[in-house]
C-alpha cells in the first residue's frame, strides 16, 4: 500500500493543519466542570432521522437522541438488551409479535412516550419509508395498542421472529407521533431538529463545523448519561482526526477515522488507546455495485471478467493493511449461522478476464481499450476511495477504461441511488446479523428510486427475488438458513454485484474516555454509560 499511504499522508498534511487552525476552545474539556466528550465526525447526513435512514452515518449521531426498542448486547438474551421495549415475544405462527414498553419515558419536548408512537413509527415510517424496514415490515398489517405500554405487531403473512429479533437495534428507532402525524414525513423539520427519548438532546448544529448534544436530565435511566455534552467536530479529512487526537483537541475518533496506516504509530502516543472491539454487529462489506442498464454490464461474461480482474489478497493486504478478510459472497464469514463457502469463486486471473471479454464480443481497439465506464467510489472511507483507484488500474489491465468520479456524500447518493448516473460504484454496505436487513436489499428488484443503499442498478432476477421473499416468510430457522445459503450461491453465480472484502472498524481514543465498546454496536448506540475520567 506504500504508494497509496505515502501519497495520502503527503497530500493531506496541509489540509489537516488547515482544519486544525480553527479555534478548538469551544470543544476542549470544559474548565467549568462540564463533562464534555469531543469526537470526530467525517460526514454530515442530510437526513438525521434513523427511522427513515437506517445507516451508520446517521446512527452515529442520532442514536444518542432517538432510541430503538432494543439494542445489541454482549451479554443479554438473544444478544439484545432492552431500550424502549422491556420484553418481546413472537407467536408460534409468525403472525404477531408483542412488545411490552418502558413506563415513565418522556420525549425531549415533555410529551409522554406511548405505544401510539411505536405504532405510528412502524406503520407510517419503518414500513413505508425506511431503507431496511421496507423489507422487515413488508407484511406488517396493523399494530394494536390495547394500552399505552403494549404494542402488538400483526402480520398478513408469517414473519420470522428470528428476523424481528435481529432487526430490533437497526430498524426500530421510534419517533414522536405528535410531531409527524399529518405532515409530509420525508420533509418534516424534525428529521434534522431531532426530538427523541434518548440520553442526549440535539442542541445545536453548525454546518461544516459541529453538532452539539446536551444531557437529557429527564432520561428514563436515572443513572445516565455520564456525560453532559457530546460535540461532533466535523472533520471530513481523516488525517485531521488523528492530528486532533494527538493535540488533545478531540478525545475520540470512531469508524477508523484515523487512517489504518497511522495506527501503528499513533498507538504508541502516550494517552491514546486503539480499540478494535465494539463493531461485532457492524460488519462492513466492500462491494462493487453494477448498473445493469448498461449493455456491456448486463452481460454475465463481462461481470465475471471484472470479478476475475480483482486481486482480493492485494486489496486486503495493501488497502486494508490486513484489517479485513476477502469475501466469497454476500454473507460475511463472521455470520456462521447463515454463511456458506460453497459458492462460485473468482480467482484473480487477468488472462481469464481478458478471454471472457473477447468471448463477450468486446475486443480491444487499436488503442488497447474495449470500452469506457464511469466509476463512482463511495466517499465515506479512505479505503473505498483507495479501492476506487485500485479498481481503475485493475480494469485498465483488461482493456476497460474507468473514469473516476469522486463526489461528496450527498452527490454520491443522488447519482447512484436516485439518478442511476453510474456504471460501477463502490459501496460499503453493512451486514447487520441477518441477510433480510442488509445484503438482500442490494440485489432485490423493485426498490423505488431514491432509497439509499439499495439495488438501483436495474438488476432483476425473479428466482432470486422469490428466494428472498420466501426466506422473509419462513418461520422455521433451519429452513430459513438453507434458503439463505441458496441465496448466496445464486448471487455468486449471477454477480448482480461483486463482493470483494469484509471488515470491522477501529476506535482511537484518549485514555480518559471510559466504557468504549460496551456493546457490539457501540459507535452507533446511545453512549449512556460512556464517561470521562475526572
Domain ranges within the chain, ordered by starting residue: 2-57+198-280+507-532, 70-185, 283-503
Contact between 483 and 470 (Cβ < 8 Å)? yes
pLDDT single digits (tens) 37-55 = 999 998 899 999 999 999 8
Cα four-point dihedral sign 120, 122, 128, 132? positive
- CATH fold of 2-57+198-280+507-532 reads D-Maltodextrin-Binding Protein; domain 2 (3.40.190)
Model pLDDT, residue 22: 39
The 8 Å CB, 24+ separation contacts for 339-344 are 339/488, 340/485, 340/488, 340/489, 342/485, 342/489, 343/488, 343/489, 343/491, 343/492, 343/493, 344/489, 344/492, 344/493
Cβ neighbours, 10 Å, residue 365: 10
* Distance separating alpha carbons of residues 449 and 95, to the nearest angstrom: 30
Q: Which CATH superfamily is domain 283-503 in?
A: Dipeptide-binding Protein; Domain 3 (3.10.105.10)
Q: Which CATH architecture has domain 70-185?
A: Alpha-Beta Complex (3.90)
For the entire predicted model, the pTM comes to 0.77
pLDDT single digits (tens) 456-472 = 999 999 999 999 999 98
* Distance separating alpha carbons of residues 452 and 348, to the nearest angstrom: 30
* Distance separating alpha carbons of residues 345 and 329, to the nearest angstrom: 9
pLDDT single digits (tens) 113-124 = 999 999 999 999
pLDDT under 70 in the chain at which residues? 1-32
Using DSSP's 3-state secondary structure scheme, residue 71 falls into strand
From the list 63, 50, 32, the residue with the least C-alpha distance to 230 is 63
Contact between 505 and 323 (Cβ < 8 Å)? no
pLDDT single digits (tens) 258-277 = 988 899 899 999 999 999 89
Amino acid at each position: 500500500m506504500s504508494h497509496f499511504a505515502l501519497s495520502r499522508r503527503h497530500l493531506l498534511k496541509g489540509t489537516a493543519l488547515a482544519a486544525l487552525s480553527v479555534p478548538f476552545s469551544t470543544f476542549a474539556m470544559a474548565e467549568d466542570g462540564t463533562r464534555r466528550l469531543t469526537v470526530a465526525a467525517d460526514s454530515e447526513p442530510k437526513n438525521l432521522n434513523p427511522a427513515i435512514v437506517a445507516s451508520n452515518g446517521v446512527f452515529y449521531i442520532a442514536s444518542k437522541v432517538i432510541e430503538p426498542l432494543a439494542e445489541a448486547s454482549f451479554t443479554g438474551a438473544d444478544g439484545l438488551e432492552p431500550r424502549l421495549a422491556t420484553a418481546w415475544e413472537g407467536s408460534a405462527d409468525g403472525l404477531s409479535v408483542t412488545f411490552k414498553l418502558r413506563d415513565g419515558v418522556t420525549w425531549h419536548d415533555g410529551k409522554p412516550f406511548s405505544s401510539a408512537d411505536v405504532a405510528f413509527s412502524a406503520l407510517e415510517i419503518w414500513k413505508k419509508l425506511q431503507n431496511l424496514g421496507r423489507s422487515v415490515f413488508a407484511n406488517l398489517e396493523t399494530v394494536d395498542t390495547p394500552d399505552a405500554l403494549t404494542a402488538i405487531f400483526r402480520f398478513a403473512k408469517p414473519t420470522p421472529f428470528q428476523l424481528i429479533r435481529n432487526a430490533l437495534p437497526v430498524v426500530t428507532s421510534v419517533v414522536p407521533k405528535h410531531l409527524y402525524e399529518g405532515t409530509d414525513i420525508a420533509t418534516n423539520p424534525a428529521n434534522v431538529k431531532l426530538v427523541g427519548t434518548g440520553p442526549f438532546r440535539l442542541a445545536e448544529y453548525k454546518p461544516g463545523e459541529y453538532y452539539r448534544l446536551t444531557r437529557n436530565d429527564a432520561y428514563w435511566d436515572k443513572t445516565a448519561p455520564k456525560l453532559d455534552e457530546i460535540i461532533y467536530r466535523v472533520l471530513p479529512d481523516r488525517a485531521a482526526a488523528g492530528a486532533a487526537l494527538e493535540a488533545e483537541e478531540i478525545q475520540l475518533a470512531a469508524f477508523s477515522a484515523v487512517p489504518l496506516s497511522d495506527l501503528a504509530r499513533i498507538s504508541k502516543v502516550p494517552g491514546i488507546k486503539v480499540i478494535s472491539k465494539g463493531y461485532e454487529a457492524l460488519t462492513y462489506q466492500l462491494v462493487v455495485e453494477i448498473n445493469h442498464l448498461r449493455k456491456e454490464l448486463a452481460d454475465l461474461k463481462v461481470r465475471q471478467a471484472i470479478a476475475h480482474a480483482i486481486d482480493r489478497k492485494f486489496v486486503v493486504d495493501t488497502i486494508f493493511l490486513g484489517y479485513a478478510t476477502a469475501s466469497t459472497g454476500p454473507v460475511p464469514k463472521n455470520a456462521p449461522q447463515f454463511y456458506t463457502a460453497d459458492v462460485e469463486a473468482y480467482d484473480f486471473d487477468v488472462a481469464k478476464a481478458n478471454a471472457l471479454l473477447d468471448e463477450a464480443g468486446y475486443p480491444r481497439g487499436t488503442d488497447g481499450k474495449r470500452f469506457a465506464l464511469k466509476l463512482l467510489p463511495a466517499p465515506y472511507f479512505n479505503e473505498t476511495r483507495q479501492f476506487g483507484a485500485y479498481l481503475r488500474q485493475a480494469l485498465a489491465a483488461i482493456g476497460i477504461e474507468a473514469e473516476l468520479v469522486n463526489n461528496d456524500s450527498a452527490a454520491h447518493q443522488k447519482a447512484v441511488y436516485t439518478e442511476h448516473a453510474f456504471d460501477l460504484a463502490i459501496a460499503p454496505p453493512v451486514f447487520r446479523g441477518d441477510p433480510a436487513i442488509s445484503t438482500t436489499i442490494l440485489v432485490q428488484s423493485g426498490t423505488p428510486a431514491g432509497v439509499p443503499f439499495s439495488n438501483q442498478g436495474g438488476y432483476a432476477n425473479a428466482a432470486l427475488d422469490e428466494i428472498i421473499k420466501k426466506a422473509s416468510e419462513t418461520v422455521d430457522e433451519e429452513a430459513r438458513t438453507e434458503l439463505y445459503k441458496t441465496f448466496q450461491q445464486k448471487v455468486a453465480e449471477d454477480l448482480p454485484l461483486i463482493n470483494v472484502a469484509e471488515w470491522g472498524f477501529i476506535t482511537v481514543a484518549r485514555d480518559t474516555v471510559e466504557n468504549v465498546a460496551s456493546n457490539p454496536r457501540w459507535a452507533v448506540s446511545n453512549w449512556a454509560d460512556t464517561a470521562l475520567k475526572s
